[in-house]
Amino acid sequence: MYEFAYNRPTSLEEAVKALAADADAKPLAGGMTLLPTIKQRLAKPSALFDLSGIASLAYIKRAGDGLEIGAMTRHVDVARSADVQQVIPALAQLAGGIGDPQVRNRGTMGGSVANSDPAADYPAGVLGLGATIVTNKREIKADDFFTGLFSTALAEGELITAIRFPKPEKAHYKKFPNPASRYAIVGVFVAKFASGARVAVTGAGPYVFRVPEMEKALTASFTPAAVKDIKVSDKDLNKDLHASPEYRAHLVTVMARRAVEAMV
Amino acid sequence: MTVNGKKASATVESRTLLVQLLREHLGLTGTHVGCDTSQCGACVVHVNGESVKSCTYLAVQAAGKEVLTIEGLATGDELHPMQAAFREHHGLQCGFCTPGMVLSAVDLLKNNKKPTEHEIREWLEGNLCRCTGYHNIVKAIQAASETMAG
């Protein structure tokens, strides 16, 4: 690791101000991606601002019919929350399947979403549920938030403070995990709202994306049969030693069908 | 910070990892570094009662907190029931992964007093053992859950 300065601000204002003053400084959430990246010398921040000292960023509360979850809320707390299990059980299930127990004891929702890792689980839940990302400056719809591989609509120095989730009629997340890392080779989040179905896919492409054709079919008929023959194009899908684009495209259909099967 | 019930302090760089603090500054070499990429779980310790990977945790982040390592688990000469169960059921061969396995398993039983075999295997996702095939580790944890539940 290269050297860096470590700071633990106790208020959001303090963190935002400090980050704005140093373009090479980085916010540290759970650190489950950032610390390994720094250890491998793939990142060289001048300073880390550890957000774990800002108590107001870690909470889960009911907001209207849905939920509002603070950015620094850890995966373990989402997975075990009675409120999440009751209002959006699929989100608790998703959080409980991230990485391993020690990663879930540290990793946070805001950190995962801000990172937009192509194989992370939370982006599928956030986009699949049509959540709203609340930052220190504004509110961003999930559809506008994820913009590319490790890229989001967040501006420099803009921090996620919370994410608001509407309550679906039902939802389910099905992932085909990499057996070693538990990252999604393909993960599909399917949600059914009164207004229609949403289908979000992680792991398959450079960043999370929706599948309009499946959404249309599921809105017309919320059955496994409605999606089982819908293929997505393998063009631009990820290729690595774990899976080819063709295989990932195939898995999108299979995971979508299984997610729907789990709900009907 | 408190380590295994005793006050401990050290002056470290921001980039010092918790595992380095434990091993190199405090001489607690029971916590191992296996992969150094937060996958293998040989470095698992408890911070404020929860299992974490100490190779992916800055030492400064543990300031003021309570750390428990494998050295602090037994009471005097009496092994913790989880350690005793690992010995009884031969839940180890080379022993390299064992400190992390034991501490991870202790955390499991805090949250789930009577886990099923499936739940134990799921929980051990973050702890790799290259000797045992996990079978006896799972047996040891099941046995410890019986003992500890009384």
| Cβ neighbours, 10 Å, residue A21 | 10
Q: Is the pLDDT confidence value at A182 over 90? A: no
CB atoms within 10 A of CB A46: 13
Residues B49 and B89 in one domain: no
| Range of the structural domain that residue B59 is part of | 2-72
What DSSP assignment string belongs to A150-211? TEESPPTT--EEEEEEPPPSEEEEEEEE-TTT--EEEEEEEEEETTEEEEEEESSSSS-EE-
Looking at residue A5, what is its pLDDT? 97
Q: Are A211 and A256 in contact (CB under 8 A)?
A: yes
Q: What are the C-alpha distances in Å from A66 to residues A24, A163, A255? A: 37, 11, 25
Q: What percent of chain A is modeled with pLDDT above 90? A: 97
Mean pLDDT across A147-162: 96
Find, in chain A, the residue whose alpha carbon is nearest to that of B13.
Answer: A3
Residues of A in contact with B108 (CB under 8 A): 101
Give the distance, in angstroms, between the CA of residue B139 and the centroid of all CA atoms in the same chain: 17
CA dihedral (B52, B58, B61, B66) in degrees, to 10, reads 50
Here the ipTM equals 0.96
Residue range A143-153: average pLDDT? 97
Q: Alpha-carbon distance A183 to A178, whole Å?
A: 6
Confidence of residue A127 (pLDDT cuts 50, 70, 90): very high
Q: Which of the 8 DSSP states describes residue A73?
A: -
Cβ-defined contact of B51 to A105 (cutoff 8 Å): yes
> What is the pLDDT at residue A180?
81
A44-53 residue pLDDT tens: 999 999 999 9
Instruction: Please check the confidence at residue B150 and state whether its pLDDT lies above 80.
Output: no
Question: Residue A241 has what pLDDT?
Answer: 93
Reported as type and span, the H/E element at residue B50 is: strand B50-53
Structure tokens given for B104: 């991870």
Task: Find the mean pLDDT for residues A136-158.
Answer: 96
Q: Chain A: give the shortest CA distance to residue B147, in Å.
A: 23
Average pLDDT over residues A59-69: 97
Percent of chain A whose predicted confidence (pLDDT) is above 70 = 100
Residue A249 has pLDDT above 90, yes or no: yes
pTM of the model: 0.96
- The residues in A 71-90 lying below 8 A from B, measured between CB atoms, are 76
Whether A72 shows a pLDDT value over 80: the answer reads: yes
DSSP A2-71: ---EEE--SSHHHHHHHHHH-TT-EEESS-TTHHHHHHTTS---SEEEEGGG-GGG--EEEETTEEEEET
The total number of structural domains that make up chain B: 2
Fold agreement between A55-165 and A170-261? no
What digits encode the pLDDT tens for the residues B106-115? Answer: 999 999 999 9
Q: Which fold has domain A55-165?
A: 3.30.465
B18 and B60 share a domain? Answer: yes
Are A214 and A227 spatial neighbours (Cβ–Cβ below 8 Å)?
yes
Tens of pLDDT along B44-89?
999 999 999 999 999 999 999 999 999 999 999 999 999 999 999 9
Going from N- to C-terminal start, the domains of chain A cover 5-53, 55-165, 170-261
**Inter-chain touch B60–A6, beta carbons under 8 Å:** yes
**pLDDT of res. A142:** 98
CATH number of the domain that residue B58 is part of: 3.10.20.30
Assess whether B86 and B27 both reside in one domain.
no
Q: Average pLDDT, whole number, for chain B?
A: 96
pLDDT score recorded for residue B36? 87
Q: Hey, what amino acid is at B11?
A: T
| Span A192-245, pLDDT tens digits | 999 999 999 999 999 999 999 999 999 999 999 999 999 999 999 999 999 999
Which of these three, B19, B51, B72, is where a domain ends? B72
Mean pLDDT confidence for A149-164? 96
Task: Give chain B positions within 8 Å (CB) of A2.
Answer: 15
Same domain, B130 and B95: yes
Tens digit of each residue's pLDDT (9 = 90 or more) over A10-41: 999 999 999 999 999 999 999 999 999 999 99
- A-facing residues of B in 99-118 (CB < 8 A) are 104, 107-108
> Would you call B86 an interface residue with chain A, using a CB distance cutoff of 8 Å?
no
State the nearest Cα–Cα gap between B90 and chain A, in angstroms.
Answer: 24
> Strands A170-177, A184-193: parallel, antiparallel or unpaired by DSSP?
antiparallel
A170-261 carries CATH number 3.10.20.740: no
Fold of A5-53: 3.30.43
